[in-house]
Homo-oligomer: A and B are copies of this chain.
Amino acid sequence: MSPHPHDDSADARELARRVGEAMYAADTASKDTLGMQLLSCEPGRATMRMAVQALHLNGHKICHGGFMFTLADSTFAYACNSRNHNTVASGCSIEFLRPAHEGDELTCEGVEQTLSGRHGVYDMRITNQKGQAVALFRGKSTQISGTVIPTDDAAASSKTENHA
């Protein structure tokens, strides 16, 4: 059974978890280059975390805004691919609210605002370890053809454990 776009059943949640796991395993940029962790991937939602390290600092010795964007953009990618339809970003905007410094721990939570046809809008909020909002991000997504993980595999997702 193919999940309905707004399905939040146990099957849909299990599928989202496995899509997230498979994407993260292959996501060199987020995982290896920038050191992000995927905390959760649910239908239409995701949460990631990134501790600000020396490698993230720009010429002002604060976290490069591009890496805050990248944290949000990755979280957006997990949220909008979570139903196992290949989906890409068409455009994004970000508002920077306060700087992040080395040692800060940034958490990004993202949630689907709307999905109609192949187009969606997703909002991300990055907060620091004090719970202060650091940046707000809005992403527009477009579904393309194909699935993130094989659909047979997806169909089997609630029955068999799969180590992607």
What is the interface of chain A, defined by CB distance below 8 A to chain B?
22-30, 32-34, 54-61, 63-67, 69-74, 77, 86, 88-99, 113-114, 116, 119, 121, 123, 125, 133, 136, 138, 140, 148
* Measured CA separation A70–B57 after assembly (Å): 12
A66/B64 in contact, CB under 8 A: no
Which residue of chain B has the shortest Cβ distance to A55 in the bound complex?
A: B33
Main SS at interface, chain A: mixed
| A63 CB to nearest B CB, Å | 8
Note all chain B residues with C-beta closer than 8 A to A29: 55-58, 63-64, 66-67
Note all chain B residues with C-beta closer than 8 A to A119: 90, 97
* Measured CA separation A71–B113 after assembly (Å): 19
Note all chain B residues with C-beta closer than 8 A to A90: 95-96, 119, 140
B138/A93 in contact, CB under 8 A: yes
A64/B59 in contact, CB under 8 A: no
| A91 CB to nearest B CB, Å | 4
Note all chain B residues with C-beta closer than 8 A to A26: 58-59, 61
Which residue of chain B has the shortest Cβ distance to A62 in the bound complex?
A: B88
B95/A121 in contact, CB under 8 A: yes
* Measured CA separation A148–B71 after assembly (Å): 27
* Measured CA separation A77–B66 after assembly (Å): 11
User: What would 9 A/B residue contacts be, using CB atoms closer than 8 Å?
Assistant: A28-B58, A29-B64, A33-B55, A60-B86, A64-B73, A66-B73, A97-B114, A114-B136, A121-B136
A91/B92 in contact, CB under 8 A: no
| A104 CB to nearest B CB, Å | 15
